Amino acid sequence: MWFGTIAGLNRYDGFKFNVFRHKFNDTTSINNNEIVGIIEGPGHKLWIKTKLGLNIYDPLTEKFTSDLTSVINNAAVPSARIANIFKINENNYVLVNPELGIYLYNSVTKSAEHYYNKRNHPESISSDPVSSIISSSQNCIWIVHTNGLLEQFNTTTKQVVYRKEIVSNPEEKNLQYTAYLDRENGLWIFSSGGDHGVYFFDTSKLLLKHFDKESEEGRLNSNIINS
Q: To which H or E segment does residue 87 belong?
A: strand 84-87
* 129, pLDDT greater than 80: yes
Beta bridge partners of 38: 48
* 154, pLDDT greater than 80: yes
* pTM for the predicted model, two decimal places: 0.82
Half-sphere exposure of 206 (CA within 13 A, CB side): 8
Q: What pLDDT is recorded for position 80?
A: 64
Once rounded to an integer, what is the mean pLDDT over residues 109-123? 89
* 186, pLDDT greater than 90: yes
Q: To which H or E segment does residue 36 belong?
A: strand 35-40
Residues 6+ apart with CB under 8 A from 198: 188, 189, 190, 210, 211, 212, 220, 225
Using CA of residue 182, residue 41, residue 44, residue 111, what is the dihedral sign? positive
* 73, pLDDT greater than 70: no
Torsion of Cα atoms, 197 then 199 then 200 then 202, to 10°: 170
Query: Alpha-carbon distance 37 to 179, whole Å?
Result: 13
43-62 per-residue burial string, b: 16 or more CB within 10 A, e: under 16: eebbbbbbeebbbbbeeeee
153 with 115: CB under 8 angstroms?
A: yes
Q: What pLDDT is recorded for position 79?
A: 67
Using CA of residue 118, residue 165, residue 89, residue 176, what is the dihedral sign? positive
∠ CA(34), CA(48), CA(1), 5° rounding? 95
Q: What pLDDT is recorded for position 149?
A: 93
pLDDT in tens, 29-46: 999 999 988 988 888 889
Taking the alpha carbons at both ends of the chain, their separation in whole angstroms is: 18
Please, what are the domains in the chain?
Answer: 1-66 (no CATH), 117-227 (2.130.10.10)
Once rounded to an integer, what is the mean pLDDT over residues 76-93? 81
Q: What pLDDT is recorded for position 26?
A: 94
By C-alpha distance, which of 130, 198, 208 is closest to 164? 208
* 71, pLDDT greater than 70: no
Query: Alpha-carbon distance 148 to 44, whole Å?
Result: 31
